Amino acid sequence: MEFAAYLNDYGLPLVFAVAFLSCLAVPIPASLIFMAAGTLAAGGQFGITALWLAGLAGAVLGDQTGFFAGRLLSGRVLAFSQNHGKLAAGLGKARDFETRWGSAAIFFSRWLASPLGPWINLSSGLTRVSWPSFLIWDVAGEAVWVTLYLALGWLFSSQAQMVADLIGNAVWLIIAFGLTVLLGRSLLKAAREHRHGNPPSTG
């Protein structure tokens, strides 16, 4: 059975599970799946609001799981990272990103720098970031991510057959990445200038 058929059959639980697992660093093409779900919603198979809530709930729950794993199991996580280069490297990149952007790193890592998301969840727990602060930035960032990719699927719904054919194709990833960069570039630039005390440039 093709993946699109699984998505059509299992819908909301599958979207929830995909979002949850992707936030725990499980290698799942979550953004592609969200676009496919948005396309199906445009065709009437699902309610877009229900899909949005399922995706947001799964993503936020996955992030919170990573955060509390870092906070409650900090000693074990640090010891494990000493013998596992991938974990150590991921945590190192997360700390560098957090040093540069502060609390806003949580927001940006949900959608603009999403590969860092699971590592920032752990790192935030390890460094005992305030949980209410983490939760607020997390929900805001995941709302952008879920909205963005469901909207892309909805936008391309007139090309439903193409979506089904390309769901596992890197073309979709390139399109999504390019659009995400365009959307986030100006926001990052403004944030950088603000941190350095410079007025945002015009043009």
pLDDT per residue as tens digits for the range 85-115 = 778 888 889 889 988 888 899 999 999 988 9
Does residue 184 form part of some domain? Answer: no
Number of structural domains (the chain) is 1
CA pair distance 93, 19, nearest whole angstrom? 22
Q: What pTM was computed for the model? A: 0.75
Does residue 182 form part of some domain? Answer: no
CA pair distance 118, 50, nearest whole angstrom? 25
Domain that holds residue 143: 3-168
Q: Would you tell me how many other CB atoms lie within 10 Å of the CB of residue 154?
A: 18
Identify the segments of the chain with pLDDT beneath 70: 1-6, 158-203
Please give the pLDDT value at position 117: 94
